[in-house]
Amino acid sequence: MSKHAEKVADQNVARRFVERGIGAPILANDPIVALVHPEVAVRLTGTDGNAFAILGQVSQALTRAGVQQQDIEAFRAEAMSGTYDNLLATCMRWVTVS
């Protein structure tokens, strides 16, 4: 997929998150979005809601799962590129969140 096609696909995914609502559960088999790493599960409910804590928790889970460092850096760049809601949406797009 070309970079432009990836960007358009990402914009469409973001638009669908807005339509469904950020709080809606996202599952690995969800027809709206395919997770980048569905095999990586992170529990965020009942934990520290601080943005940096969430970023660290997901980054550590990706590292433990053996995800390449450049992919983890791409996740972190995407997660930090916007608001708190963007951070949460990015986490839900990259890993299985509960």
Cα 90 to chain centroid, rounded = 3
Q: What DSSP assignment string belongs to 36-94?
A: SEEEEEE--TTS---HHHHHHHHHHHHHHTT--HHHHHHHHHHHTSS-HHHHHHHHHHH
Look at residue 21 in the predicted model and tell me its pLDDT.
53
In tens, the pLDDT along 32-57 reads 567 888 899 999 888 788 999 999 99
Look at residue 28 in the predicted model and tell me its pLDDT.
47
Look at residue 34 in the predicted model and tell me its pLDDT.
72
In tens, the pLDDT along 73-95 reads 999 999 999 899 999 999 999 99
Q: Give the C-alpha separation, 11 to 61, whole Å.
A: 25
Contact 96, 34 (CB under 8 A): no
Look at residue 25 in the predicted model and tell me its pLDDT.
52
In this predicted structure, the answer to whether residue 24 has a pLDDT above a threshold of 60 is no
Instruction: Provide the domain count of the chain.
Output: 1
Structural domain boundaries, residue 61: 3-97
